[in-house]
Amino acid sequence: MKQLHFRHLVNFVLPEKRMKEIASSYDVVDGPNDEGEMFTRPGILVDAFPSPYPNEESARYANGGANPPDLSVYTTAKHEGLDYIFALLLGYRDPPAGIEVRDGLYYNVYFPGGLIGMPSPLHSDGLVDYEDGTPCTKSQMAKDVVNFLCWAAEPAHDERKLVGLKAMSALFCGTFVVGFWYRSMWIGFKTRRIDFTKAVM
């Protein structure tokens, strides 16, 4: 998730102090320093999420030749991205008769072509313990993943909508005030009566 940073999770997932601890547990390549060399340092809140692969070649090798996509904007970049990801997570099946699946590929009814290089990430129920006692089913975990990816695509979505609501409210109040002022200033001109009388010679 290249577009998501540790700071985006502050007060949404964990408090700032805890997020700093998590960020500092990762080594980040930075630089160059005064000597022109790259160096590693503990991560900070402004750093992006670390990639699980050092480069694209290793990512392809670990995923059967397919480069994993950047999921930070996937829900908004793909048409009906939310529904697609939810269906994809739950669409793993045994291949039907007549379809051969080579090693390293898996059959998914919702993936274009039917064969995908990613194994099922939700292979069984009970992978997560919910604090509120929510049953941990595959569909519940898929829903949580989709909701997180939707939030990751636009972390400032709620704040943006709130600012827009405030702006629309201010414009409405301003329109009312301007309308009242316009009416009070021009009411005398718009309602006056001018009579013309014939001049007496």
Mark the binding-site residues, compressed into ranges: 118
Q: Where are the beta strands (DSSP E) in 33-188?
A: 39-42, 106-107, 115-116
The dihedral sign for the CA sequence 91, 94, 98, 101: positive
151's tokens? 């939030």
Q: Which residues are annotated as a binding site for heme c?
A: 118
Contacts of 105 (CB under 8 A, 6+ apart): 64, 115, 116, 117
8 Å CB contact between 23 and 49: no
